[in-house]
Amino acid sequence: MKKRLLIGVIITECQINFQIEILKGIISQAFRTNCDIAILAPLHNFYVNNPHKQAEKEIFKLINSHRFDGFLYGRNTFYDESIKTMIDNLLIKSEKPVMLLDSAEHKLFESTAIDDYSAFEQITDHLINVHGFSRIYCLTGPKNYFVSEERLRGFIASMKNHGLNSGKESCFYGDFWKSAAEELAAKIIKGDIKRPEAVVCGNDISAITLTDALVKGGIRVPEDIAVTGYDASEESKTNIPRIASYRRPNFQMGAEAFRRIYRMITGKISHKVRDERGNFIPAQSCGCNDPPVQAISRSDKMLRAYEDDILHRDMLFDITNTSAPEEFADRLDNYTYYLYKMRHMSICLTKKYIECRGGKFTDKLTFKTGDEMKVILSKEGIHRRFDNIGFFSSEDILPDYNDPRPYPLAYFITPLHFNDNFFGYSAISYGKVPMSFSELYIHWINYINVALEQVRIKSILDRTVTNASHAMLYDNSTGLLNRTGVKKTFSNRIEEFRQKSSSVEFIRIQLSGLNDAHYQGDDDKCSKITAAFAEYIRECIKEDEICGIWSVYSFAVITSHRNRSDEIFRHLSERVKKSQFGEDVNCNINFTIGTDSQPLSNEPSPGACLHKAALNRIYSYTVSETMENPQYEKLCLLRGRIMKNPELPWNVNDIASELYLSKSYLQKMYKLYFGKSIIVDMIDFRLAKAKELLLTSDMTVTDISRECGYSSYNYFVRQFKSVEGVSPTEYKERKND
């Protein structure tokens, strides 16, 4: 069978409505032309700079694959210029034909664009001809942005055709988001600019924001000012008032872009799929009657039900409770039903990930075109496929593209990764249906990313324990029992527990804060915090209790005493709050405590019980909840400054003025949070510094008093003696003895 062309599509945020329509057009036309499609589809855009988001760009290295015959490039869907430059360079290096989607002319690539000019001309014509408006404003997108300028040109053309003013005072550049719409509304409400009769907005989100802001400011829509949007999004249909909008011909643009790239590659003209033209949809916001409300489709109902289900079920806990890729695949197989209308699906992992069990936590998992991959889970509808093909080259993208078949395929290729470790990619196809994934798929993939990281960590831990179990009942970094040590100790002491109680409580303490973005990529900091937490837990553990580190960032306590989880939570809460003042490691992060109580009639399994304890969380310490008062952080920083520099002339009046607080309120809140007044805290810090200098330096007592901020030697001696019970000289001599 003749090899099909494989066209790569480079785009992001494929779940957004107008991009879904573009992709439908591309896929429909590709199927009509008997071509395969591979959509390189990261889940996020690249305007947030953190290791996890940035690692998604690794998927674009597949552009180097020899399998591609050409590319469709949604350059305008990417917001960050650095990612555009990276993709541009990869496409240039590939030496394959490239067609830009919805873009202006480019010096390197061909482009296909929608006629936004005519669309905005039609919208403005409607406001003038149907409603009789003459003073109309236009809020478009960023200046010098192709689609922004095209939409503005259409507005200006309509105004000029009707002999109306369309000067600078009527044209406003924005951001295709909320800020510019809110600013324009504020100017209208305050009277900074003359009130228009109508505003033509560059997209629906701007129109919705502008409408809401005007209504809040006492201006009625459409009675006082009419507003129109663009894109005919779902949000525009559910807004009150419903937004008059324009249904952009995105489908047709996608189809036409594919026809043009196909002609560039083959020199042939492909038959067109159905023609879908754009049209204006009048609604209440422009003064027209709303169109009939359409019933919610069965597809939307199913997706909503699945989204609710995935957020409340145990998928994440289930697939993370594994320690090998094979076991992970078996668990994940039970949750592929969330992929609504999925026809083909594959989870492909790199050989580096598969073999990471023999490595270290610090090993970085990288990716490049040509790396060996393995399909660990493959589904065709509800049926699992066991192809046993072993490893394949990422040059081939997917084994399915090489298989002889009578029909073309369109796969969405999505990266799998955690922080800057690249695991592989997921591939999903909807068979003959030209569609894209929804928000539900993003949740599903994010769960997989977290689970694969946990599998990696557990596999390394399990290998370490297995290789040295005789000498590794204890964790090196914390000094506590490790998982094997906890299990073995409990088994050895089961009879001792039975003599004291008929049941035993399994307590699991999870350092959820270490998974937050603030700590990602900083293994040393995470290790220090984990070790500090281990010390806090050790402080409140009774002699007859078992305590250990169960997994990375997770501790286990097994006890026959009642209400121990309450006591442990109170102790840890106080310790982590205090850790930000004067201790080497700030442990003020989120953590949770869960429990599971089991009878001792049979020997309970620590693994199963602690897994249940993780699900049965009864306490959650959340940093944000300790900071409900907006002054809390300021006071924390203030106390840290006093602690580091107690010798400075701290004055309550000056501090209150600096923090823009009243003196009485400052003193009240400071004592509420830290249990002491500012002055008492300062004295304690000064005396603590004095004691350290008395024991570690050769300075005279007079010099130490000055170093600690005392202008009077006698006052220093009196204050020191009132707190310590001895003079500074006696204190130094007693310690030296």
Domains of the chain, earliest start first:
6-114+252-294 (3.40.50.2300), 116-248 (3.40.50.2300), 301-463 (3.30.450), 468-627 (3.30.70.270), 632-736 (1.10.10.60)
Q: In what order do the strands lie in the sheet with 554-559?
A: 546-551, 554-559, 503-510, 591-599, 617-621
Provide the pLDDT confidence category of residue 599 given band limits of 50, 70 and 90: confident
- Of residues 532, 516, 429, the one with CA closest to residue 478: 532
3-state secondary structure (DSSP) of residue 111: strand
pLDDT at 414 (0 to 100): 96
Say which range, 33-37, 97-101, 448-452, 661-665, has the weakest mean pLDDT: 661-665
Q: Which residues of 142-168 are buried (b: 16+ CB within 10 A; e: fewer)?
A: eeebbbbbbbbebbbbbbeeeebebee
**671-707: pLDDT as tens digits:** 877 778 889 989 988 998 898 888 878 889 899 999 9
pLDDT at 162 (0 to 100): 95
Rounded CA-CA distance 174/603 in Å is 67
Using the predicted structure, report yes or no on whether residue 605 has a pLDDT greater than 80.
yes
pLDDT at 297 (0 to 100): 65
SS3 content of the chain, % helix, strand, coil (to 5): 50, 15, 35
pLDDT at 661 (0 to 100): 83
Q: Which residue has the higher pLDDT, 546 or 685?
A: 546
**121-130: pLDDT as tens digits:** 999 999 999 9
Rounded CA-CA distance 156/137 in Å is 10
3-state secondary structure (DSSP) of residue 585: coil
The encoded tokens of residue 366 equal 């990288």
Provide the pLDDT confidence category of residue 1 given band limits of 50, 70 and 90: very low
Give the Cβ contact number of residue 393 at 10 Å: 15
Provide the pLDDT confidence category of residue 521 given band limits of 50, 70 and 90: low
Using the predicted structure, report yes or no on whether residue 103 has a pLDDT greater than 80.
no
Task: Judge contact between 376 and 347, C-beta under 8 A.
Answer: yes
Q: How many whole angstroms from its chain centre is CA 570?
A: 31
**136-195: pLDDT as tens digits:** 999 999 998 888 999 999 999 999 999 998 888 999 999 888 999 999 999 999 999 999
Residue 658: partners with Cβ closer than 8 Å, 6 or more residues away: none
pLDDT at 97 (0 to 100): 94
**387-408: pLDDT as tens digits:** 667 899 999 999 999 888 889 9
Pairing, β 546-551 against β 421-429: unpaired
Using the predicted structure, report yes or no on whether residue 517 has a pLDDT greater than 50.
no
- Size of the chain, expressed as the number of residues it contains: 737
pLDDT at 181 (0 to 100): 96
Give the Cβ contact number of residue 490 at 10 Å: 22
Using the predicted structure, report yes or no on whether residue 630 has a pLDDT greater than 80.
no
pLDDT at 305 (0 to 100): 76
Say which range, 45-54, 74-83, 587-596, has the weakest mean pLDDT: 45-54
Q: Which residue has the higher pLDDT, 206 or 479?
A: 206
- Average pLDDT value for residue range 217-243: 93
CA distances from 506 to 489, 495, 500, 546, 620 (A): 14, 16, 15, 10, 17
Rounded CA-CA distance 251/116 in Å is 14
The encoded tokens of residue 135 equal 């003073």
Say which range, 17-21, 573-577, 645-649, 714-718, has the weakest mean pLDDT: 573-577
Compute the mean pLDDT over every residue in the chain, rounded to the nearest whole number.
86
The encoded tokens of residue 14 equal 């494929």
**613 membership: H or E segment, kind and range:** helix 606-615
Q: Which range is most confident: 38-42, 80-84, 493-497, 609-613?
A: 38-42
Provide the pLDDT confidence category of residue 310 given band limits of 50, 70 and 90: confident
Percentage of the chain beyond pLDDT 90 is: 43
| Type of residue found at 423 | F
Provide the pLDDT confidence category of residue 566 given band limits of 50, 70 and 90: confident
DSSP state of 464: H
Using the predicted structure, report yes or no on whether residue 211 has a pLDDT greater than 90.
yes
The encoded tokens of residue 505 equal 């409580």
Give the Cβ contact number of residue 71 at 10 Å: 23
Using the predicted structure, report yes or no on whether residue 385 has a pLDDT greater than 50.
yes
Using the predicted structure, report yes or no on whether residue 470 has a pLDDT greater than 60.
no
Pairing, β 36-40 against β 6-10: parallel
Provide the pLDDT confidence category of residue 636 given band limits of 50, 70 and 90: low
In 404-493, which residue ranges form alpha helices assigned H by DSSP?
439-467, 483-492
pLDDT at 43 (0 to 100): 87
Beta bridge partners of 429: 344, 411
CA distances from 461 to 107, 359, 483, 532 (A): 53, 10, 9, 20
pLDDT at 625 (0 to 100): 47
- Average pLDDT value for residue range 64-85: 91
pTM: predicted TM-score of the whole model, two decimal places: 0.60
Provide the pLDDT confidence category of residue 632 given band limits of 50, 70 and 90: low
pLDDT at 672 (0 to 100): 78
**How close are the terminal C-alpha atoms of the chain, in Å?**
94
Say which range, 11-15, 306-310, 728-732, has the weakest mean pLDDT: 306-310
pLDDT at 208 (0 to 100): 96
**10-29: pLDDT as tens digits:** 999 888 888 999 999 999 99
Task: Judge contact between 134 and 164, C-beta under 8 A.
Answer: yes
In 493-554, which residue ranges form alpha helices assigned H by DSSP?
494-500, 523-539
The encoded tokens of residue 17 equal 């409505």
In 97-249, which residue ranges form alpha helices assigned H by DSSP?
116-129, 146-161, 178-190, 204-216, 234-238
- Of residues 590, 588, 550, 544, the one with CA closest to residue 564: 544
Using the predicted structure, report yes or no on whether residue 568 has a pLDDT greater than 50.
yes
Where are the extended beta strands (E) located within 12-82? 36-40, 70-73
- Average pLDDT value for residue range 513-531: 69
Rounded CA-CA distance 303/310 in Å is 10
Using the predicted structure, report yes or no on whether residue 468 has a pLDDT greater than 70.
no
